[in-house]
Amino acid sequence: MIIKTTLERQVVMASSPVPRWISVVWVSLTFLTFLVLDASSFRNWVIVTTIAVVPSVVLLRLWSDGPPPTVAEVLHAAEDRR
């Protein structure tokens, strides 16, 4: 059984492209929809920017790629640093 160190786990968690791709697709589809609907006023652009950005920010802040490291993993990583 291989135990990943905390640093290795953080690198894996930071490299997950899924939430970024979901956000890019969401923002793109939102802007394309409003362009097709010809929403050209400033008020409409404020609304579309809010609709595009707020869910993406929430998704990126709440996305979790797995459980936090266990106490054993943290202790093992601390021993390896000595």
**What is the radius of gyration, based on Cα positions, of the chain?**
20
Please give the angle made by the CA atoms of 18, 20 and 25, to the nearest 5 degrees: 95
Task: Express each pLDDT in 2-54 by its tens digit.
Answer: 555 555 555 444 557 888 999 999 999 999 998 898 878 899 889 988 999 99
* Residue ranges per structural domain of the chain: 1-16+67-82, 17-64
The amino acid at 28: S
Whole-prediction pTM = 0.58
